[in-house]
């Protein structure tokens, strides 16, 4: 597949989602100052044992997690943190390149402002799956558990330069050259090379949700390869759960919010 097909669909879905969420009013907004720029964060903190952190995919700001009130439901019983990466939503421009290494570093800074020494449960969608994967590998002692929602993976995603260019141009035309998603799209091939060199995940509970819904551009054989890519995340992990769904497209948290919430509850139930 071509990542361009999935990511272009994602970019089209964003505009339809943004008017249908209520994430910001139900969370406390705080600007976190990094050395070079400020990031907008949205939190609900009651000092529970773990901090649940949501990481969005390419082109999405934090509000995607409340399109169907996923984050709002989670915050009823858990501490929750969402944020907008640089040049998304209310966050400022950040230094380039906007690659996984930098995005993970900025996630570390945001988490450190809210974790107060607690371990975090990371939830990552699409490109966000690569960001939380890098975070977990670099911060194994700070990571309690991981929930991947249809994450990008180097075993499956092999875009040619022309495909990355198409993705970049689509985002540029829709949102401008300085939009966070546009800047991140330009690094996609390099990000896949980077992520492919990472060691295995730390041995913490991991759940992966995989969309297996077929359509005109995603045959059953293509989706099987997607599933097999996600299976590779279990290397070195003794508590690994892989859930496939044919009822959702790439945005599982929009199509089946309950599936995300129920599996987060399952993940938390595995923790001490």
| pLDDT at res. 174 | 94
* Contact assessment for residue 247 and residue 255, using Cβ atoms and an 8 Å cutoff: yes
Radius of gyration of the chain (CA): 17
Predicted confidence (pLDDT) per residue in 239-248, tens digit: 999 999 999 9
Name all domains of the chain by residue range, CATH numbers in brackets: 3-269 (3.40.50.1820)
What pLDDT does 87 receive? 97
Q: pLDDT class for 193, splitting at 50, 70, 90?
A: very high
Residue 15 has pLDDT above 80, yes or no: no
pLDDT at 173 over 50: yes
Least confident window among 31-35, 127-131, 187-191, 214-218: 214-218
256-272: average pLDDT? 98
pLDDT at 26: 85
Q: What percent of the chain has pLDDT over 90?
A: 89
Residues 6+ apart with CB under 8 A from 259: 209, 243, 245, 248, 252
Other Cβ atoms closer than 10 A to 87 = 22
Tokens read off for 5: 């097909």
Tell me the average pLDDT across 18-28: 61
What mean pLDDT is predicted for residues 18-45? 83
Q: If pLDDT is split at 50, 70 and 90, which confidence band does 24 have?
A: low
**pLDDT tens digit sequence for 42-93:** 999 999 999 999 999 999 999 999 999 999 999 999 999 999 999 999 999 9
**Does residue 22 register a pLDDT over 60?**
no
**Backbone dihedral angles phi then psi of residue 87, each to the nearest 5 degrees:** 65, 25
Distance CA 206, CA 251 (A): 19
pLDDT at 12: 42
Q: In the predicted model, is pLDDT for residue 147 greater than 50?
A: yes
At residue 93, φ and ψ (nearest 5 deg) are -65, 140
Q: What is the pLDDT of residue 217?
A: 85
Tell me phi and psi for residue 175, to 5 degrees: -130, -10
State the average pLDDT over residues 156-161.
93
Report helix, strand or coil for 208.
strand
DSSP assignment of 128-173 equals HHHHHHHHHHH-GGGEEEEEEES---TTT----HHHHHHHHHHHHH
For position 17, what pLDDT does the model report? 44
Confidence at residue 191, expressed as pLDDT on a 0 to 100 scale: 98
Q: How confident is the model at residue 25 (pLDDT cuts 50, 70, 90)?
A: low
Cα angle, residue 261 at apex, residues 129 and 82 outer, rounded to 5°: 55
Predicted local confidence at residue 9, as pLDDT:
46
On whether the CB atoms of residues 248 and 255 are closer than 8 A, the answer is yes
What is the model's pLDDT at position 6?
52
Answer whether residue 4 shows pLDDT above 50.
Answer: no
């Amino acid at each position: 597949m071509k990542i361009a097909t999935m990511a272009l669909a994602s970019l089209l879905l964003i505009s339809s989602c943004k008017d249908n969420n209520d994430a910001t009013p139900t969370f406390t907004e705080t600007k976190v100052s990094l050395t070079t720029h400020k990031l907008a964060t949205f939190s609900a903190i009651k000092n529970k044992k773990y901090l649940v952190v949501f990481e969005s995919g390419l082109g999405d700001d934090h509000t995607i997690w409340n399109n169907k009130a996923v984050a709002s439901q989670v915050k009823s019983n858990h501490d929750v943190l969402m944020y907008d990466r640089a040049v998304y939503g209310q966050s400022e421009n950040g230094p380039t390149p906007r690659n996984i290494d930098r995005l993970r570093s900025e996630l570390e800074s945001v988490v450190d402002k809210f974790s107060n020494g607690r371990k975090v449960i990371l939830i990552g969608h699409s490109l966000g799956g690569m960001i939380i994967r890098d975070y977990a590998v670099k911060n194994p002692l700070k990571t309690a558990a991981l929930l991947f929602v249809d994450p990008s993976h180097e075993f499956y995603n092999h875009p040619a330069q022309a495909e990355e260019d198409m993705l970049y141009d689509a985002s540029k035309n829709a949102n401008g050259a300085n939009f966070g998603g546009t800047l991140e799209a330009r690094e996609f091939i390099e990000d896949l090379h980077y992520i492919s060199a990472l060691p295995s995940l730390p041995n913490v509970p991991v759940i992966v949700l995989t969309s297996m819904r077929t359509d005109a551009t995603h045959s059953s054989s293509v989706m099987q390869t997607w599933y097999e890519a996600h299976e590779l995340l279990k290397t070195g992990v003794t508590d690994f759960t892989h859930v496939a769904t044919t009822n959702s497209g790439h945005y599982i948290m929009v199509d089946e919010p309950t599936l995300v919430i129920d599996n987060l509850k399952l993940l938390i139930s595995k923790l001490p």
